[in-house]
Every structure is written in C-alpha cells, then in structure tokens.
C-alpha cells in the first residue's frame, strides 16, 4: 500500500514553545489529509481536514489559532502546535486520502508523540 511518513516521531518541548509536525505522502498525491489526536486508551479524534491550497477545516472545539495547519503541496501537510502547554501532550496522527478512480482509501502515518514539559 501507499506510504505516509511523519516527522518527528517523538518530540519533547518546553511549555510555551511551538512544534511543527510534518506529514508526507511518499508515493502518491493527496488532495486531502486529515489530522487526528489520540489520547491514551481512547480513539482517534479528528482535529481537522486539510485540503491542498486551501484553508483547513477544523472540528468543533479545536482551536485553529493554536493548531496551525498548512497543506502547501499535494504531498505535504504540516501541523504546528503553537505555544504548547502540557495539556497538548498527545499522540498526533495524520492520514492521506488517495482517491484514484474506483478506489478510495486513507493511509496513515506512524504518528508523532508530543510531550510538553
């Protein structure tokens, strides 16, 4: 199947700093990417839908000024957690949608573990 990478896989930062997470589709073009957040022993919760060349669509309760999403190309979306605080510590997962004719599937990245001290 298609490959989606995330970088970094793990990051530890101080409270108040910003952290950028990259999500790349390595062998296909993704017009749509999704950002999820996963708390321990809980399901993946959709944060936002990222469309190439347009503003991201955020889910209710997700602060768009805190979680900045940029989908600059068909293979790259970035999530920047601005002024991070300990409550932002979580596992962030992206997925990329491949919508080839007759086949539509989402491919997931391996996730990024963010720890804010």
Q: How many helices (H) and strands (E) does the chain have?
A: 0, 11
Residue 97 binds to other proteins (criterion: CB under 8 A): yes
DSSP-derived secondary structure letter, 31: S
Contact flag: residue 28 with other proteins (CB under 8 A):
no
Q: Which of 90, 111, 114, 116 binds other proteins (CB under 8 A)?
A: 111
Nearer to other proteins, 23 or 116 (CB): 23
The answer to whether 93 contacts other proteins (rule: CB under 8 A) is: yes
| Dihedral-angle region of residue 41 (phi above 0 means left; psi in -120 to 50 means alpha; beta otherwise) | left
Q: How far is the CB of 72 from other proteins (least distance, A)?
A: 20
51/30 Cα distance (integer angstroms): 9
Indicate the pairing of strand 19-25 with strand 4-7: antiparallel
Residues that bind other proteins (CB under 8 A): 1, 4, 6, 32, 34, 36, 41-44, 46, 49, 93, 95, 97, 99, 104-106, 108-111
């Amino acid at each position: 199947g298609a490959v989606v990478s995330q970088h970094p896989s793990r990051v530890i930062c101080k409270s108040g700093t910003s952290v950028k997470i990259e999500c790349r589709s390595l062998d296909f073009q993704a017009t749509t990417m999704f950002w999820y957040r996963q708390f321990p022993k809980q399901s993946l919760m959709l944060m936002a839908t990222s469309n190439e060349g347009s503003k991201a669509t955020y889910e209710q309760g997700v602060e768009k000024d805190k979680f900045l999403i940029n989908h600059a190309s068909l293979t790259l979306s970035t999530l920047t957690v601005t002024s991070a605080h300990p409550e932002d510590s979580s596992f962030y997962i992206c997925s990329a949608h491949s919508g080839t004719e007759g086949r539509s599937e989402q491919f997931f990245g391996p996730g990024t573990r963010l720890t804010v001290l």
